[in-house]
Every structure is written in C-alpha cells, then in structure tokens.
Structure 1
Amino acid sequence: MVPPSLLTEMRGAAMSLTAAASGLVVFLLSVSVVQGVHDWGVSYSPTEICAAKGSTVEIRCNFTYPSTWRGSVNTVEKTFWFTKWKDGVHVDLTTVSEYAGRVEDLCENNTCTLRIRNLTESDSAEYKFKFETNQGGKYSGSPGVTLSVSNLQVTSGTNRLYCQSSCHQYSYPSYIWYKNGQSIQGETADYTSNPNNADSYSCALKGYEDFPSPPVYAPKPPSVSVSPSAEIEEGSSVTLTCSSDANPAASYTWYKKNGNQKRPPLTTEPQLVFSSIQSSDSGQYFCKAENELGKITSKVNSVDVKYPPKLPSVSVSPSAEIEEGSSVTLTCSSDANPAANYTWYKEDEDSPKASGQIFTITDFRAEHSGSYSCGAQNKLGRSNSTFHLSVVAGSSTMIVNIIRMTLGVLMLIPVFLLGLWTRKKKALRSTTEACEPVEIELDSIPEYENVSHTAAQTEDRE
C-alpha cells in the first residue's frame, strides 16, 4: 500500500513535467509507484494475541522504507505504537497515562517490539505501529495486532468444569487444568470431574502457566458472628452473619434447631436480623453455605436472650383454708433471665419478711392475716405480685369453744329444772284447790228436779 502523502507528492511531480517528455513522465511515474509499493511497509506477526491478565505481552512488527526518497537519503527519525487517535493525530502509547510505567518501545534493525507489563482487561485493543522519516514520509501498517487480555474463570456444570476466556472470539488457545495446584489435564477448555468439598480447580492458558485462573472450590465450614457480641437483651437489635470461603461465592440459608424436627428456612440471606429480639427467639441457630461444587452447614450457635422478671405467680400450701396454728408455705415463681431473686413483704411493714423463693409461716395466727407481696428481681428489672392471707378457726379452738358451750349448757340445766319444778308446783296447787267439793242443791235447778228426787228415793230404798 502506497501512503496517500506519497501519492500526492508523486502526482505533483508528474504535473510539473513538460508535454514533450511525456514518455519519460510515464516511466518515472511507474518507477515511483513500484518503489512506493515495495519499499514502504509494516508487517505484524502474529496478528492475534491472547494473553492472561497480569502477564506481560510482546507485540512485534517489521517495517521497510526506501533508502532514498525525493532525491535524498531517507532515514527513520521516529517510531511509536498507538491504539487511538486524538484530535486527528495518532497518540504515542508511551505518553498515555493508562500505560505509564508499563510499556516499552524497543526497535532494532527495522524490527520493533511493544512490551506491555501487568496486563489489564482494558488493555484489550488493536495495536498499530507507525514510523516517520526525515523526508516527511509517514507509514503505519493496517490492520494491526488484536490483543485480547483474558481474565480466566472456571465455571461449573453437571460433573463438568469450564475454563472461560474472552480469547475465543479471536483464537482457540490451549488450556492447562490444575487440581489442588497440580497439573492434571491440558488442551481443552472443559474438564470432566466429580469434585468434593476438599478439592480446588483452576485453569491457565498454555504459555501463561504462571497466571492461572482463581481456583474454584466448595464452601469451607461457615463461621457465624453475632452483633452486638455483648449480652443480648430483649427488645434490642441483633444480627447473625454467616460467612464461608467459597468460589464461586456461596449462597446462605438460616435455620433454627428444634430437636430432631426439620424446620423451614428462616431466610436465604447471609444475615439473620432481629430488629426487636424477644425471649421466644432464644434457641440454637445454624446456617448452610452452598455453591455449585458443594454445601456444608455451620456449627450450632446458641442465642440467649436476657429479660427482666415477668409477673410472679404465688402458690400456697396447703391450698385449703388456713387454720390457726397450722404451717403455711408460700412459693413465688417468675420467668426471668437471668434467674430472679425473691423478697417477701407484708403490707404496712418496711422490712422484708423473708428472702428466697419459698416463705414458710410455721404457726399461723390471726395477726398473720393480711396482704403480702412477692418481689422478683434481676439486674434488668423487677416485678411484684400481691395476695391476701386470712385465718379460720382451727380444730383445737373449736373443741375449746364446744367445751365452753357444753359447760354453759350444763350450768343452765339446774336452773332450768328448778324453774320447771316451781312452775309444776304452782300448777299442782292450782289444780288441788279447784278440786275441793261444793254443795249444789239440784232442786234449785229446774232441769234436775225429778233427778234429785229419784236419787233421794233410790237412796231411801237402800
């Protein structure tokens, strides 16, 4: 290919010749064209390069130019590599900030090499070489060299691993496979395997063995962190975080243990969050980490939620009516974490009656009757319950009272009998007086006139 600038100059030279020398003009033009085609050139080998990220690559070319041009000695004054235009001008890579300190332009005997160290994926581009001579000649070869910087990655399928590279669109490189750091197979982009949790796999481009892909492996045993790490109080915000070293990254599932029963997952996020944790959330938790190469569960982690005492309950033994002189046992119970301490009080008394969960009154008397309270307390708070105790007459008291009543009754009997005798005596006297004879003359009674006579006659007869 003849540079445009060279063609323009040749056309100008031809137009300056006279018509009489037209045959010579044709000859010179022909010579100039032939000289431009064969003496100006840039060739690249290879034209496609696939390199590993982080490695160093060398892009080479050979260039040619005529030793004389425009009737003068033609020498190379400037060479450089470029990828882009800026303001219509090719930009020397050694002046581009993205390549600062990473590129070298090495030329010797018409062979030039562009060396790029510590390759990044953004270095993927088409690179071209350009040279300029003292006679104003400029030339660049096109097309240039296509560089593809590959960030190798191993992906997995069913019993198969794949080495993914961005180089496939330009070429089909050879690969090397590694298992636990040891070479196991080469050439192909896939590898058939049945990985277990202990194995790791990586791949590399042939020729770039020192720059393998990141290894892939099943999740390592997960660790669980609890935040805040201090004591957990009811109502606070608590976060449990599950993490596992795995490549590709693991997905997570949280569970709460419930004996041997299988519980549904709580969340499929790495974090299990309690915005306001409750006492019912206390328990044992574990997480599962999983990727395409395997899965594993963490150790069980206990969550112990602390809370102040709930409202205490009080039991009385015996539960029947309290008899005077009997023994009474009071028991106070409250749900609390940490365990509560107990104190017993009686109304209108400042000093506590007792401390401890059990309070016993061995000889219950009437003065023991009244309202009592049980206070349950731990470092997080306090709660009270109030109740009333009253006494009923005991069996011994009832016996004494019965004896007293009996004696009273016995003492009243003589008085009662004496009164009864007096009343009977009076009644008898009244009866006797009423029964003395009274003479009544029947003749004075008309109805009995005949009767009286008859009786007299009868009496005479006798």
Structure 2
Amino acid sequence: MSPSAGGLVVFLLSVQVIQSQDGWRVNYDQTDVCAAKGSEVFITCDYTHPPGIDPSDIKDTFWFTKEKDGEPVDLRTDSEYSGRVTYGCDGYSDSCYLIIRDVKESDSAEYKFTFMTNKPGEKYTGSPGVTLCVTGFQVQVRRSDSTWLELTCHSSCVLSDRAEYVWYKNEEIIKRGSSLLVSSGSTDRHSCYLGGSSGQRSPAVYGPQRPSVSVSPSAEMLEGDSVTLTCSADANPAANYTWYKEHEDSPRASGQNFTITDFTAEHSGNYYCEAQNEMGRSISTLRLITSSGKSHSFFCSFTHYIINPAKEVTHRVTRRPLSET
C-alpha cells in the first residue's frame, strides 16, 4: 500500500536498520524521518521469524512509542493519535507500514514495530526503531544592508536539499526558495511553508504596526503625582520600546512603561515612543500640555486615538482654580 500523494512531505535518511536475534528480525527502511508539521508520514519495515513458525501463527503486529507496565502500547489505542494512524502488513512478504496523518510536533518520537505469535510471551520488537522529527517553521531575520533584510525559512531538523519553500506576503504567494529579501521597515506580513505540504505556515514576521499610547491615572490628580505612559504595538518579533522627549538626544526610558514622578509644568511637551524590531520601527507622539492658571493643583483630561507616525495623541493637563486664601 502507498500513502496518499496529497500533503506527503517526508524526508528519509535511506539507511536500512536490521534488528535480529536467533532468526527473529525487523528491518527498518530508514533510520530517521524529518516531516513538516501537518503533513503525512509513511514509515515501512519488514520482519522475519524462525523457519519453524508458520505465517498463520503470527497473532498480531503493531507500532508503538510508549510502554505501560513493561508492555508496548499500540498506537491505535493511544488517544493522542486517535483518527490519525493507519497501518498494516502484506502477509506474503511480511512487509509492514505505518501512516500518521496531520503530524504534530508532539509526534516526534522513536517508533518501533513489534510482532507476536499465538504462543504466550513469544514476540519480538525491533529496537532501536525509527526516529521521527516533526518540524514547524520559523522565519529568521538577518539584516543584509541598510535597505534590505534577508528572511530565511528555518526548521528544527535538517530537510532534504530538494525541499522547496513557499513565501507569502500577507496572503499572497510571492516566491519559492529558502530565503527572501524584503525592504527594511516593511509592515507587510511575511511567512513561509514547505511546498507540497498540507502543514501550517510559519508565524508571520512584520515590523511594528501603529503604536497606541495610554496614560495612567486617567482621572483627576494633584500636582506632584506620578504619571505613567504606556506604549504598545503589534509586531513579530516582539517590539522593543524607547521613550524620548522633544529636543533631547538621549532617551528618557526604555520599555513599554515610562513613569514621570512628581509631575510639574516643566514636564510638559512632546514625548515620543519608538517601537522597533528587526523588521523596522514606528514612532508615535504624545503631547503633555499645561496651561496657565491661578491654582496650585491640576487635573488631567485625556483623549486617546490609534497613533501612527503622522498623527498625535493629546493629553491635556489643566490647572484647576482654587479659592484664594
């Protein structure tokens, strides 16, 4: 029996492994299997028993990865493989196969074949078995120069040189190959997957999207209170944040939160939150304003918008008049 053509992306190290003892033998057709997440895996073997045993004496054959109380656990009874495992044998040649559909990274394990006769305790397992490594894909980012970034589709195990990667820009296929050049600062989402696979795509990488800013507390406060500014932006890899104040070259703070203690009129002005990752950066502007008045205390009123580099968010701090003494 052969596996279905659709979604079969498996790469084999074609070295036979023969496990035998006193006429008992299991011959695996490969030692290692590297498969794309979501694809279909096909593993084969053949077995031999001593001449005195008739083929009709073979009671059962199955594959396993785990043992319970010293006994192998048939994959067909393992809930983790429910509905995804098929196997069988050709009784004429003693050739057997294992098919695992929609493989997951948790399926990475050593798979062994065992067969037993109708005599109590008479069985044989081919060990070591076949090691399966199921890989997802990650996009690695490397700066090529000041203008271009090189994206590489990376897997956790070594795939064949014949592997063909497919690149997406947002939801559109744009290129085939293991790497892709994109312009620095792009906010487009780039992802990859293995051609011919029904597996999932890698997580998309993209520069910081429109940052948003919040201020706490947002209710009435007194002069001398602390004010915390928070900046966040959707990005992958995750963005790093840096805060600047206008007309100052050195950053005021790093991280998503920037706290101004003992707030006074001298703290008014424009503050800039820069969100940056390997793909690019985005800058938002926050304006803290004080207005003149007769009071010695003040309160804050806030208006919040989604920010992009061309727009600003204004948070006005207004002095509140008090009765004169």
TM-score normalized by the length of structure 2: 0.71
SS of the counterpart of 1:248? coil
Answer yes or no: is 1:269 the counterpart of 2:260. Answer: no
For 2:175 and 2:131, the matched residues in 1 are separated by 28
Shift of 1:103: 4.4
For 1:96 and 1:193, the matched residues in 2 are separated by 45
Answer yes or no: is 1:281 the counterpart of 2:267. Answer: yes
- Higher fraction of helix: 1
RMSD: 3.4
Answer yes or no: is 1:215 the counterpart of 2:204. Answer: yes
Q: Which runs of 5+ in 1 are unaligned?
A: 8-35, 312-335, 341-376, 385-462
Q: Provide the residue aligned with 2:46 in structure 1.
A: 63
Does the CA contact (< 8 Å) of 2:291 and 2:319 recur in 1?
Answer: no
Q: Which runs of 5+ in 2 are unaligned?
A: 1-17, 145-149, 298-316
1:174-193 CA-partner distances (Å, limit 9, x unpaired): 322222333333243x3333
Shift of 1:280: 3.1
Task: State how 1:76-87 maps to structure 2 within 5 Å.
Answer: 76-86=58-68
Answer yes or no: is 1:199 the counterpart of 2:177. Answer: no
Give, as a single letter, the amino acid of the residue that structure 2 aligns with 1:208.
Answer: S
Task: State how 1:14-413 maps to structure 2 within 5 Å.
Answer: 36=23, 40-44=25-29, 46-53=30-37, 55-65=38-48, 69-70=52-53, 74-86=56-68, 88-96=70-78, 99=80, 101=82, 103-109=84-90, 110-117=95-102, 119-120=104-105, 122-135=106-119, 136-159=121-144, 160-168=150-158, 171-172=160-161, 173-188=163-178, 190-208=179-197, 210-257=199-246, 261-302=247-288, 309-310=295-296, 337-340=318-321, 377=322, 382=323, 384=325
For 2:104 and 2:275, the matched residues in 1 are separated by 34
Does the CA contact (< 8 Å) of 1:281 and 1:305 recur in 2?
Answer: no
Shift of 1:125: 2.0
For 1:76 and 1:82, the matched residues in 2 are separated by 18
1:422-459 CA-partner distances (Å, limit 9, x unpaired): xxxxxxxxxxxxxxxxxxxxxxxxxxxxxxxxxxxxxx
1:375-415 CA-partner distances (Å, limit 9, x unpaired): xx1xxxx553xxxxxxxxxxxxxxxxxxxxxxxxxxxxxxx
For 1:197 and 1:222, the matched residues in 2 are separated by 15
Does the CA contact (< 8 Å) of 2:31 and 2:129 recur in 1?
Answer: yes
For 2:78 and 2:254, the matched residues in 1 are separated by 47
Q: Provide the residue aligned with 2:306 in structure 1.
A: none
User: Aligned pair in 2 of structure 1 residues 201, 104: CA closer, same or farther (>3 Å)?
Assistant: same
Which has the larger Rg?
A: 1
TM-score normalized by the length of structure 1: 0.52
Does the CA contact (< 8 Å) of 2:39 and 2:199 recur in 1?
Answer: no
Structure number with greater CO (CA < 8 Å, separation at least 6) is: 2
